[in-house]
Chain A
Amino acid sequence: MTRVARHVAALAFLIALTAGPQALAPATASAAPTPRASLTDIENDVMCTSCREPLEVAQSPQANSERAYIRGLIAQGQTKQQILNNLVSQYGPAVLGKPPANGFNLTVYILPPAILILGAAILFVTLPRWRRRTKASAAHPTPGPTPLDPQEARRLDEDLARFGG
């Protein structure tokens, strides 16, 4: 495997990693039955609309009202996604903990992996250069200090002798 191919493979792995665990999950997982929604699970992804806190920590009357509404939807047998859609249709997108992936909000989803990939790409380019430079400098050590000419050597000896050296 050439050096370029190794770099490309490493970059591809990094992209797959940033795409999330879903990207690496086997295709058969999507055929599995949808698990039953739970209040605790949904509370993690939902905000209390009046106090603007995650629902899991909010204790206001509105938070309790939202919880009661979610419990009702769970009792109807709705899936987590159906419940989230229902909450958005009632309270608007502000009820979601994570903003919907459209418009300016896309930056939240695109920028972090983009920065990670860019940083990795810069390292892939610069690290081998630095290593080459270090190796080159090790192979050709810099010459030592130039020897003093006799006149300077004599002056130095005199100075040292004067200071008791």
Chain B
Amino acid sequence: MRRFAIPAVALVVAVALLALLAFGVAHQGTSLSIDASVARGQFPMAPDAHTKLPLLGAPGTTSLANMRGKIVVLNVFASWCQPCVAEAPILEQEQRQLVKNNATVLGVTYLDNSSDSEQFVQQHGVTYPVIRDVSGNFVKSFGTDGVPETFVINRRGRIVALRRYQLAGNWLQQTVSRILTQPA
């Protein structure tokens, strides 16, 4: 019996390490379950809605829950991201229409220095609120692993459309127009 004790311990340790590795790999990757749900037409609730994050360039915090009842176009961006620079005018143009309809764009900075983000906001004339997700946990709950990404959240706090790359064409305008016509 004692002959098998050491190989048994080594085997248990090896299995435990493999289980740990599998757990780590499964939890480190980004989840694309939101994409799948939206594609099936099962609009999931926006995750981490009650997480309060600091506003960029202003005192105080805000959260998605604070905006319940509004249509929110959540845009994850960074000052170092060239596609984000390219889509900034599209978002700003849309914001001018959204504010008239109890809706807003909400920018979220991603792995970005606050002074660089503020410079980005000034350079591109951004007027919509921007929050800082320093830990990266808020955007990670949306499955974000890069920028830019845009999520359209309806008045009931559900994600109804998303774009994992640069906005192009009239996608944002058409998506928001469709949601604005839906009953609250």
Contact = CB atoms under 8 A, between A and B. Distances in A.
Interface string A62-102: 10011001000000000000000000111111110000000
Interface stretch (A34-42, A118-126, A143-151): A118-126
Contacts of A69: 113, 115
Interface of A: 49-50, 60-62, 65-66, 69, 88-95, 104, 107, 111, 115, 118, 122, 125-126
Give the secondary structure class of B's interface: helix
Q: Output the residue of B10, B80, B136 with the most chain A CB within 10 A.
A: B80
Interface string B1-12: 000001001100
A94 B111 contact: yes
B81 A50 contact: yes
5 contacts: A69-B113, A89-B134, A90-B114, A92-B133, A93-B136
Interface residues of B, number: 22
B80 A61 contact: yes
Interface string B106-148: 0000011111100000000000000001111000000000000
Contact of A125 (B6, B80, B113): B6
B41 interface: no
